[in-house]
Each structure stands twice: as structure tokens, then as C-alpha cells.
A and B are shown apart, each in its own frame.
Chain A
Amino acid sequence: MWEGDELLGMYWQAIIPLWVVLFPIFMTPAIFILSKRSEKLRDGLSVLTAVITFFSVASLYPFVMEGKTIEYTLFQILPELGVTVRIDILSFCLAILSSFVWMMATIYSLDYMKPEHGKNRYYPVLIFTLGATLGIFFAGDFFTLYVFFELMSLVSYVLVIHEETPTALKAGYKYLIMTIIGGLALFFAIIATFELAGSVSLSKGVLVSKPSTLAFFAFVCYLIGFGMKAGMFPLHVWLPEAHPVAPSPASALLSGIMLKTGAYGMLRVLFYVFNIEVVQSARWDLLVAVLAVITILLGSAVALTQFDLKRRLAYSSIGQMGYVLLGMILFTEQGLVGDIFHIFSHAFMKSTLFLAAGAIIWKTGLRNINDLAGIGRKMPFTMGAFTIAALAMIGIPPLNGFLSKWTLSLGALEAGLPIYVVILLISSLLNGLYYLPIIIAAFFGGEEQEHAHGEAQHVEAGINLRGEATAKMVIPMVILGLGCFFLGLFPSNIAYELSLKAAVFLFRGGM
């Protein structure tokens, strides 16, 4: 690790985190101002910003693959507390994933949002949230992380309530209150850590190495703060309300990426604030494990009872985040690989599913699962992508969901906890129960039904692929769906390599 100014001279990569955080944030007012002039310019600039951000993040790839880490302080806000930048393999994993999915969702938005109102608000907020989210991943201490975490959570409120219907406003209010509660819990946790350790930096090794009452409360508050964001039981209540009411590309990002910030935060807490010995010796991991198991089973079970397509997907997200929470508490290297890989997998799967659901809603106006019979024949690409992602959710080989479940199970066995494998299998079964009927009905059911309404509505919006949504919507969806396929086809793909490296890195002490 290098300190201070000389590193800026040595490694131009040190600038990139700053660039990818500040560039979208500074583009926000530009997009907002341009939106008054021309819609085309606004759309183009939004996509351009997302694309440039993605490639900037990607350019860090060779650097982090060499196993290098950079950390430096930009300026101090309070004594011992500053804005710190950090690049390591874990932050790279999450950042590259986020910026990629964000790019896809932004392209998808172009046509999806056309009939919507308030686009001049939507695009700036979308791009701003990208910057804030990347800020979370490139933060070098918990204080900076907290600042960006709050920024992202608050700004994405505007995405949640975009429709401004009474339902959306109600869901948004719930979201806002839960966000503030989570934020305050994090505030307590961070301040308690600061009191115990005198620092909240990620570069100091283990900050709290002795369990104490205050340390326990700090741990619980971290769990509340990050678990709330990750949709952990019993703090998930906002999620099934907020994710379905948002516009579909925003739902894809909320479910696919922003949930992961909670998981990312928990990973940092488990390996940087405390460490395996502290958490295991004080048996705090039991708390997380129990909550994670309940989250998995509850999310999957309740998803069965939902008949609104997007609500079912939202509950499914809760279940899947349970996997991620469970994986990190196994404390085995294999388990951690599976954990980080599942973050990748779920981001791809869930954003594909939400984008596909969005395309169906956009095209036909149908949200109820019972009405979707025969839709696969009308929209083969959309339902094809949906099917790949749904099968991956269930864990069918050779899709990425299978690979993550396989690795997680190996990790659970390595930790000597075969019970978790059983839970994974039960949950897979439940996933099958609620995803397969949709697919079967879409392709093989409803011959007699005709979906007349809403057909001719958006024809002028672009190329019409046999009743499909426009190309700008189908292509991102298909790319993400193919991602689910290719990231599971070989057990040595780029996402898996990154996960492996990140897991080893964390186990070595994460320095």
C-alpha cells in the first residue's frame, strides 16, 4: 500500500475512483439543464455518461488483477475522519458489476420511459445515483461509505416514487422512513466503532478486536443499517412495496445493485471492523445466520403467494439476499467465493427479470401473472431472457445461479454445516415452484387468449420484433440474460475469477 501524493504520480489509476464518482455527479446538472433544451441530447448524454463510467471502471481491471491496493485521503472533514478513496479487488468487483448493469438499464430506459412523465427528473437522478453508488464501493473508510450510502438511499427515493401515484408515494414514504432508521443505526455503529478504535479506516486491519457490550451494539446496528438495505428479515418490509412501484429499469437497479450495497457493507464490517475470531468467539454469527435463514425461506415462500409479477420478483430478491448474508457468515473461503459470485449472479438474474417484466408491462400493460399465458409466443426474446434468468434462479446447470449455489454449498460443507445445504435446496425448490409456472404458461398456455389491448400503442416507438418491445429495450435485456448463461457455462469465467481473488484477499486480512 502506498500513502499520499507520490502514489498519484506512480499510479494514474488512483484518479479513476474520483473520476467515476464525480463524473456522473457533475454530469447530473448538465443533463438537467440540457433536458430543457432537447430530449435527444438529454438521453444521449445520460447513456454516454453511463458508458464512459463503465469503461473507466473497467480500465482498472489489469491493476487490481495484479493484487494491488490503493488508499489515500482526500481531505479531512473532522479530525481523524476524512474522505478516503480506496481501490481493492472487492470494491472493483462491485463497481464493475454496478456500472455494467447501470449502463444496460440506462439504455433500456430510453424507450421504456418515453410514455412516462417527469423524464427531466428521472435521468439526472438515475445518473446521480450511479455516482453515489460507486462512491460507496470506492470509499476508503466507513465514514465516507456512510456519506455515499445515505446519498444513494435518499436520492433513489425519487426513483421509487417516480409514478407519483398514491401507492407509490405510500411505498416511498415507507422506504424513506426505513432508510432513515437504517442510516441512524449506521451512524450509531460507526460512531461506536470510532469510539472503540479511534478510527474507521479500512486500512487499519481489524478495528475492534475484543468483544464488548458496546461492540455488540455496534455490530447489531451495522446489521440493522446494512441489513435494512439488503432486505434482511425483519427489516425487509419496505422492499416488496418500493421495488415494484418504481419504473422497471429503476426496479432492476434497486433490486440488482442497490441491495448489494448492503451486502457489501456487511462484508466490510465482518472483515474489517471485526474479524472472524471476534464474531465467531462471541457467537454473533448465529444472529446473522438465523436471520439469513428466515430471510431465505420467508422471501421464497411469500413470493409464491404473490400474483403481481414485479412483487413476486421483489420477494424473490429478499430470498436471494438471504443467500448472500448466509454465505458471508460461513467464514470459509469456498463459501465466500460463492457469496461474492452470487452477488454477481443475482445482479444479472434479477435485472434481467425486472427488465423483462418491464418490457411485458410496457407492451401489454399486464402485471398479473395469471394473465401472462401465451406471452412467450408474442415476445419470444423477452420471455427467452426471462426464462434463462428464472432457470438460473432455480439453479439449473449450466447457468450462473447453479454455480453460485454449488460453491455456496461446498462452503457450507467445508464449514461443517450441511443444514445450510438443505436450506439452499428447499429454497431452490420454492424458486422452481414460483418461476416455472410463469414460464410454462408463457410458452405453452393460453392459446385461446388474445392480448388485444395495448398492442398498437407503441408501434411508432421503434423496430417491432414480432410484438416485441423496441430494440433498445430487448438488447440490454438479452445481453444480461446471456450473461447469466455465459457466467455459468464455464467455472472459470471472469466473474468467478474476480470472486475467487476477492475471497482470498479478504481471507488474507484484506490489506
Chain B
Amino acid sequence: MNLNYEHLPVIIVALLLLAAFLEPIVYRHKKSWAAPLVIASMAFFALSSLYLMAAVNYHGPFNYYLGGWAPPFGIELEIDYLAVFLLLTFSVIGLIAIVYGLQDLKHGLKDEVLGWYFTLYLLLMASMAGISVTNDLFNMYVFVEISAISACAIISIKESRECIEASLKYLILSTLGSGCILLATAMLYMITGHLNIGYLNDVLPRVMSHYPNNILISLGFFVVGYGVKAALFPLHVWLPDAHTAAPSPSSAVLSGLVIKVYAAAFLKVFLKAYPREIFLEIPVMEIVLFLSVLAILYGSIVAMVQEDIKKMLAYSSIAQIGYVFLGFSLMGQRAVAGGLLHIFNHAMMKSMLFLAAGIIIYSTGIRRIRDMKGLGVKLPLTMGAFTIGALSMVGIPGTNGFISKWQLALGALDLGRPIIVVVILLSSLLNCLYYMPIVINAFFGVKGEPELEIGKVPGVMLYSILFLGFGIIFFGIYPAPLLAFLQKTVTAIL
């Protein structure tokens, strides 16, 4: 077997970290190279993820021992279907967001912090890649910390009052979450002596009956820790402020990707490290299911009353992350595949919507939904893309949002829970209630409205959202290969 690609995951993480720390130097001495460097790193990330995806799909998953140290002593990376799926999602959306961001950030950020922004962005990407591939709980914790701190700095980079406030809120809650994760990891290490997920899965069934308290506490801490970071209701309070305050490309990445990586980490810990019997005795997944149902309803209802478009999108994210957790906590084949699919689909939809909102703010300065009357005439392509995103959020067939909802609903029915389907449908209706008025106002009933002042929209920004819009339609019509891949992923996990 040709294993030339086996070093690639490490190279990705290392290279992203290296580029991150080079950025400030490059930006100080050779300003014009800074942007190409970040694009090149992200492009490398995307291409190698694509290559890894193909390789894993063809040759099967593989494990990599860092520095040649075999587990349980060394750090193990497990590049399975889940890992390459996450890598590809993060890298492609991340690349599009930063390509878009180059234009938008020049407009929104002070010149001297731009280099730091690139650093933070690459750090964030490196940590997400790390979380995706690592098979070691402590290593995962380290990456979680890196991503929390860089996300926090990205939120505060504008240095306005609300940004600082939002990032402080995030910092405090997220540190709390990190603490929980660390404690839970320690609890497991205490009883098993292992940090490696595979070894934990082997040893835990033998020791769990002796240490029920440790197990219980670790489960609780993991739920709270990853729940805070992924903004699972009721631990979501930091999200709306943080995602609204950040610059648009960062909002797209934070809402589209960063909260998803914690959901994926949750999946890894709960379904790969813990043996399944635990969930029969301790109904932690039932609790998560209940919380995710509440998240779906709460996020959608609160989104309806928002006036600021980015805040509305942020609340909508709370509901959508509920879908992901809903799929995971059902623990059925189809349901988990649906949750993973929604990670991908929502990453596309939400980053597209945030980027479209970014264009609106960039060219008109309007943030309030009420003022957006007649935008469709002025920005037809942007609002057209926004419409596709909105329809996908509602779950209209032909868009990828429909496929996720179908998969999740079928997963729920497989397990004999039609009430979950009702929740999904109710939330779709609520989505319709807050997304459609924006679309209608933008396109119809504009006679006699005052003319809007429209600045020029850079082509790159427009092309990036059109590309994502195309992706939404494409994966709504032809999701078969993706679903087949996710089927393999889920079979490997469960």
C-alpha cells in the first residue's frame, strides 16, 4: 500500500501553525505577501484535505503515530472517514470565507491589525484540523484551547465596545467549558490510565462498574464543556453577541464551522470513547436530545423577533446546532449520518447567509432587517443567493437543507420517535416565518420606496457567495455520493 500521504495530516496542522506565526512578520516587512500567504496556506489545506479524502475513501482509514511513538504512550492521529469529512468541510468553507474576507476586512478592520487577523484565522483553522484528526483526549483539549483563544481574539479584533464585551463573555464561558473538558478528561484518566480514545473504549467497559461516580461526572462535564463551546441550549448565551460583533467573514466561520467542530468532538468522545452500554444506564443522550429539541425551538422563536440581520442569523445558528446534536443524540445509523450531513450543509448555508449579510452591510451599511426593503432590485445576485440560503433553511426540496431534514426525520422515525419529526417540521415553519419576510421585502412591494445608496460590490465577494449558493443546490439535487460516504463514516463509528 502506498502510504505517502500518511504524514499529510501532521503537515497540515504544522504548516498552518507555522504560517500563522509567520504572518505578523510578513505583514510588518512585506505587506503585499501577507494575503497570498494566508490564501496559499488555506488552499494547501483544502487540496490536501481533498487528497486525503480520496486516499481514505480508496485505501481505507489509517492511524498515524506522532513521532513514531505508539499509543498508549504517544499521541495517535486517527484519519478515519469522519476526520477527512470534517477536514474537507472546514478547509473548503474556510478558504472561501478568507477569499471573501480579503476584500471585506480591508473595509472593516484597521490596517495594523490585519496581519494579526490572519494569524488568528490560521490558528483557528489549525486547531480545528487538529481536533478533527486527533485520537487523543488531551491533545484534543489542547487544540480546543487554541481554538477558543483565537476565536475570542477574532471576536474582539474590531476593538469596539460591544466586541470587547462579547469577547469577554465568550472568554469567560469558554474557559469554563475548557475547564470542564479538562476535568472530565482527568476523571477518565484517573480510572483507566489512558487518554487514547481507542484504549478508553477498550478499558472503560471493564472498569465502569467500579467507578460509577467518575463515569457520571465525566459524562456531565463533557456535556457541559462541549455544550458551552458548541452553544447548545441553555449554554448558548455567548453566541448571539459574539457572532454579531465579529467581522462578517469571521461570523461565517464561527457560526458555520467553529461551533460544529465542538459538536464533532462531542461525537468523537461520546460515541467512540464511551461504550454504548453506558447510555442505557445513564440517560445522558436523552438529556442532550431534550436540550437539542429546546435549542431548535428556542433559537427559531427568538430569531423571529430580532431586528439586526446578523443577530437573527446567529440565533438561527443556535437552532441549527440543535439539529446536529439531535442527530447525534438519537444514536441511530441514519440519525447520526443526518447530524453529520447537517454539519456540512449548515456550514454551507450559514456561511453563505453571513457572507451575503456581509455584502449588504458592506455596500449599504444597513443592518436592520426593516430597512432592507427593495434590496433585491439593487443587489439582485446577493439577494438571490440569500433567497437560496433562506429556502434551504426552510427545507424546500431541491436544496441541501431538505436533504438534512429528510435524513434526520427518517432517522427519528427509524427509532420510533415521530414527535421529533414534528419538532423538525415546526422549526422549519418558524424558519419560514423569519426568513421569508426578508426575501419578500427585498423583491416585492418596492414601488414608491426611497432609493437606497449602494456602494460597489467587489466581484470576489459576489463570486464566493454564488459558489456557495451553487453548492447548496448541487448537494440538494445530487447528495448521493456524500450520503454514501457518510454511511461508511457512521458504520465505522457505531
Within the complex, which residue of A172, A173, A184 is in contact with B429, where a contact is CB–CB below 8 Å? Answer: A184
Q: Min CB distance, B302 to chain A, in Å?
A: 19
Complex contact A192–B432 (CB within 8 A)? no
Q: Which residues of A in the span 382-425 have a Cβ within 8 Å of any Cβ on B?
A: none
Interface residues of A in 169-218 (CB under 8 A from B): 169, 172-173, 176-177, 180-181, 183-185, 187-188, 191-192, 194-195, 214, 217
The answer to the question of B445 belonging to the interface, with a C-beta cut-off of 8 Å to chain A, is yes
Could you tell me if B432 and A180 are in contact, using CB atoms closer than 8 angstroms? yes
Docked complex Cα distance between A322 and B243 (Å):
51
B383 at the interface (CB under 8 A from A): no
Tell whether A10 is near chain B: CB-to-CB under 8 Å: no
B479 within 8 A of A: yes
| A172 to B397 Cα, complex, angstroms | 21
Q: Given the known inter-chain contacts A79-B483, A180-B429, please indicate yes or no for A151 contacting B398, CB distance below 8 A.
A: yes
| Chain B residues with CB below 8 A from A176, complex form | 432, 436, 440
The one of A78, A166, A181, A195 that contacts B413, using a Cβ cutoff of 8 Å: A195
Q: Does A161 contact B (CB under 8 A)?
A: yes
- B398 touching A214, Cβ below 8 Å: no
Is the Cβ of B483 less than 8 Å from the Cβ of A78? yes
Given A77-B478, A77-B479, A78-B479: A192 in contact with B445 (beta carbons within 8 A):
no
Taking a contact as CB atoms closer than 8 A, the residue among A76, A78, A185 that contacts B406 in the complex is A78
CB-CB under 8 A from A88, the residues of chain B are none
Q: Which residues of B contact A308 (CB under 8 A)?
A: none
Contacts of A195 in B (CB 8 A): 410, 413-414
B176 within 8 A of A: no
Once A169-B440, A192-B413 are accepted as A-B contacts, the answer to whether A150 and B396 lie under 8 Å apart by CB is: yes
Minimum CB distance partner of A176 in chain B: B436
Task: Judge whether B478 and A166 touch: CB under 8 Å.
Answer: no
Are B397 and A147 in contact, with the CB atoms below 8 A? Answer: yes
Residues from chain A with Cβ under 8 Å of B403 in the complex = 77-78
**A/B pair count, beta carbons within 8 Å:** 82
Distance in Å: Cβ of B279 to nearest Cβ of chain A: 23
Cβ–Cβ contact A180 & B444, under 8 A: no
Contact A194 B429 (CB under 8 A): no
| A371 contacts the other chain (CB 8 A) | no
Stretch at the interface among B34-42, B72-80, B418-426: B418-426
Distance between Cα atoms of A151 and B409 in the complex (Å): 21
**B66 interfacial contact with A, CB 8 Å:** no
List residues of chain A with CB within 8 A of the CB of B394: 180
Minimal beta-carbon separation of B33 from chain A (angstroms)? 43
| A435 within 8 A of partner (CB) | no
A146 on the B face (CB < 8 A): yes
Q: Which residues of A contact B447 (CB under 8 A)?
A: 164
Tell me if B282 counts as interface (CB < 8 A to partner A).
no
B444 x A164 contact (CB < 8 A): yes
A255-281 contacts to B, CB under 8 A, are none
Q: Tally B residues with Cβ within 8 Å of A.
A: 34
* A 45-61 to B, binary, CB cutoff 8 A, 1 in contact else 0: 00000000000000000
**Residue A154, interface by CB 8 Å:** yes
B160 to chain A, nearest CB (A): 36
Q: Are B409 and A187 in contact (CB under 8 A)?
A: yes
Q: Which residue from A150, A169, A188 sits with its C-beta under 8 Å from B422?
A: A188
Which residues of B have CB within 8 Å of A150?
396-398
How far is it, in angstroms, between the C-alpha of A217 and the C-alpha of B429 when the chains are bound? 18
CA distance A164 to B445 in the complex (A): 5
Q: Which of B363-422 contact A (CB under 8 A)?
A: 391, 394-398, 403, 405-407, 409-410, 413-414, 418, 421-422
Q: Which residues of A contact B414 (CB under 8 A)?
A: 195
CA distance A180 to B405 in the complex (A): 15
- Whether A177 lies near B444 (C-beta < 8 A) is no
Return the CB mask of A145-169 against B: 1 if under 8 Å, else 0: 0110011001000100100101001
Measured between beta carbons, the chain B residues less than 8 angstroms from A217 are 418
Any chain A CB within 8 A of the CB of B452?
no
- B190: interface (CB < 8 Å): no
Q: Verify B479–A191 contact, CB threshold 8 A.
A: no
Asked if B1 CB lies within 8 Å of chain A CBs, one says no
Q: A172 touching B440 by the CB < 8 A rule?
A: yes
Chain A residues positioned under 8 Å from B287 (CB to CB): none
CB distance from B404 to the nearest CB of A (A): 11
By a CB distance below 8 angstroms, the chain A residues around B47 are: none
How many Å lie between the Cα of A184 and that of B426 in the bound state?
A: 8
Q: Is the C-beta of B280 less than 8 angstroms from some C-beta in chain A?
A: no
Q: How far is the CB of B468 from chain A (nearest CB, A)?
A: 20
A172 to B477, CA, bound (A): 28
B421–A169 CB distance below 8 A: no
Which one of A77, A158, A177 lies within 8 Å of B477 (CB-CB)? A77
Structural contact, A191 and B440, CB atoms closer than 8 A = no
Q: Give 4 A-B pairs besides A78-B479, A164-B446, A172-B440 with Cβ atoms closer than 8 angstroms.
A: A77-B477, A78-B483, A187-B409, A192-B418
A-B contact pairs, 5 of them (CB 8 A): A150-B398, A154-B396, A176-B432, A177-B429, A177-B433
Instruction: Name the 10 nearest CB pairs between A and B, nearest first.
Output: A195-B413, A147-B397, A184-B425, A180-B432, A164-B445, A169-B445, A191-B409, A150-B397, A164-B444, A161-B444
